[in-house]
Amino acid sequence: MDFQNTYLKDVMAQVASKNADQPEFIQAVEEVLKSLEPIVDLHPEYAKAGLIERMVEPERQIMFRVPWVDDNGQVHVNRGFRVQFNSAIGPFKGGLRFHPSVNLGIIKFLGFEQTFKNSLTSLPMGGGKGGCDFDPKGKSDNEVMRFCQSFMTELYKHIGPNTDIPAGDIGVGGREIGYMFGQYKRIRTAFENGVLTGKGLTYGGSLARTQATGYGLCYFTEEMLKANKSSFKGKTVVISGSGNVAIYATEKATEYGGKVVALSDSNGYIYDENGVDLAIIKDLKEVKRARLSEYVNLVPTAKYFAGKGIWTIKCDIALPCATQNELNGDDARTLLANGCFCVAEGANMPSTPEAIDAFIAAKILFGPAKAANAGGVATSGLEMSQNSLRLSWTFEEVDEKLFNIMKNIFWACSNAASEVGMDGNYAAGANIAGFKKVAEAMMAQGVI
Ligand code: NDP
């Protein structure tokens, strides 16, 4: 990628050489730095203050051994991570991911993105991320519990309600947060429920947190559509993934009058031309923890296809909600050729740089992850507020706050893009709007 600004070009070269074995991290940094050129051009003082060099280096990275015992008495060892990326505007905040693909580079890319995303929410949260290369698939509840307890036995030393507040992500839902909270409470001998978000409702969780990322994605998307004289109503929608984000994006897109015809998992995808039956999906995924392929046994008119390929389905709106780099340049061209005019990212960095370039060049509506999926962490922020106040808000109260936050995020991106003459480039707008607040706070706090 070509940089005109020599300061940014030098920083990017350093990042690439220092982190050569972390392609996802390099990709995330490059995408952000590229769109900051108009702002950094206006602020030569950033170079002297080493601002961007500090922003691309995590404040702290923790890696640790996670030993645990399976149901047969066999010992396993996984590698745990917590990357505390940036605390300029608030305590570190970001999810934990349990998936075999987890490594330091992936956690760093997620933590870096999280810093700007959290800034966009307008709530006082810094950026962090963590996880483990543990695979919860196929494990018994007891195995998951023992693993979570071992993970927290190290992690608790580094987190706290005013220090670092983890939450869920891929492979970490209510069950895992519950086991981790239990272990934290036991070790600390204190009921500090502000230490984790995504908790169960009986011990400090927030109503609407489960729905928040998927709903928030649709609130953002509907606002983007409305600003461009369109809406979900009557549109065909394809959503990848079938986890937490995908399920609640399906629910809200359907409520808005869209028809969601496809969902996927890491093995394949289902196509249901009548619109997927969400009650069946929820039962399969949330209750039975079954594979998505089972859907066609319950809805015989639907079809299941093994492998990738969900982006070949004709749609108006595509919402990638599975994982990073799941939508490449070829997929983007296929979507565009099939008439797709709106893509909004529920997952983190699901579109490759080539795919993003194709969307921007085609001038379709593109909602970037750090803005479009910020509803999850925003509602985590609301959960923290309720914990501090020792109060619980109703579903409607939380949902309304989430709706307003997502609407404001859309307009922050739109306005920031317009200010640098890039009307409609919400990806650049999100980076610029998220960056400004963090930059200002870091400049004010001196060289730390
Ligand atoms: P879940 O674990 O609930 O679901 C993940 C879904 O994505 C599953 O359907 C899974 O399929 C699929 N998936 C995971 N890895 C891959 C892969 N390598 N290839 C293809 N499919 C894959 O996670 P979430 O729904 O919580 O997270 C989905 C995305 O949204 C992630 O990028 C996450 O970082 C992002 N996100 C989540 C937030 C949240 O609040 N949960 C907040 C903001 C962003 P399978 O079951 O086969 O693994």
**Strand 342-344 to strand 317-319: parallel, antiparallel, or no bridges (unpaired)?**
parallel
Q: What share of the chain is helix, strand, coil (3-state, %, to 5)?
A: 50, 15, 35
State yes or no: pLDDT of 348 exceeds 90. Answer: yes
* Pair of tokens at residue 279: 């009650």
Atom 32 (ligand 1) nearest CA: 347
What letter represents residue 156's amino acid? Y
Distance 170 CA to ligand 1 centre (A): 5
Using alpha carbons, list the distances in angstroms from residue 380 to 12, 38, 120, 386, 387: 32, 32, 14, 10, 10
Residues with CB under 6 A from ligand 1: 168-171, 213, 241-246, 265-267, 321-323, 326, 346-348, 373, 376
Provide the β-strand partners of residue 131.
81, 97
Q: What is the mean pLDDT of residues 264-286?
A: 97
User: Residues 166, 172, 177, 180: is their CA dihedral positive or negative?
Assistant: negative
Q: What is the mean pLDDT of residues 217-226?
A: 98
Query: Which structural domains are found in the chain, ordered by start?
Result: 60-190 (3.40.50.10860), 212-367 (3.40.50.720)
3-state SS class at 288 = coil
Distance, CA of 78 to CA of 74 (rounded, Å): 13
What pLDDT is recorded for position 2? 87
130 Rama sector, left if φ>0, alpha if ψ -120 to 50, beta otherwise: beta
50 Rama sector, left if φ>0, alpha if ψ -120 to 50, beta otherwise: left
- pLDDT band of residue 381 (cuts 50, 70, 90) is very high
Strand order in the sheet with 259-264: 303-306, 268-271, 259-264, 236-239, 317-319, 342-344, 365-367
Helix axis angle, 395-419 to 426-444, nearest 10°: 90
What pLDDT is recorded for position 376? 97
Atom 42 (ligand 1) nearest CA: 376
Q: What is the radius of gyration, based on Cα positions, of the chain?
A: 21
- Other CB atoms within 10 A of residue 138 CB: 7
Closest CA to 416 of 427, 403, 404: 427
Q: What is the mean pLDDT of the chain?
A: 97
Specify whether the CB–CB gap between 305 and 267 falls below 8 A: no
Distance 71 CA to ligand 1 centre (A): 26
Q: What is the mean pLDDT of residues 311-315?
A: 98
- pLDDT digit string (tens) for 162-174? 999 999 999 999 9
What pLDDT is recorded for position 229? 98
Specify whether the CB–CB gap between 368 and 426 falls below 8 A: yes
From the centroid of its chain, how far is CA 81? 17
Mutate which of 169, 217, 331, 398 for ligand 1 pocket (most atoms within 8 A of beta carbon): 169
Distance, CA of 425 to CA of 265 (rounded, Å): 30
- pLDDT digit string (tens) for 418-445? 999 999 999 999 999 999 999 999 999 9
| Residue reference for tokens 């990322």 | 213
Specify whether the CB–CB gap between 66 and 134 falls below 8 A: yes
Distance, CA of 417 to CA of 295 (rounded, Å): 42
Distance 150 CA to ligand 1 centre (A): 23
- pLDDT band of residue 1 (cuts 50, 70, 90) is low
Specify whether the CB–CB gap between 292 and 278 falls below 8 A: no
129: annotated active-site residue = yes
Specify whether the CB–CB gap between 110 and 81 falls below 8 A: no
User: Residues 25, 26, 30, 31: is their CA dihedral positive or negative?
Assistant: negative
Atom 13 (ligand 1) nearest CA: 322
State yes or no: pLDDT of 147 exceeds 70. Answer: yes
Q: In the chain, what is the greatest distance between 2 CA atoms, to the nearest angstrom?
A: 64
Specify whether the CB–CB gap between 387 and 193 falls below 8 A: yes
Distance 242 CA to ligand 1 centre (A): 8
Provide the β-strand partners of residue 83.
61, 129
Using alpha carbons, list the distances in angstroms from residue 176 to 145, 196, 199: 7, 11, 9
Atom 40 (ligand 1) nearest CA: 376
Does the predicted model carry a pTM greater than 0.95? yes
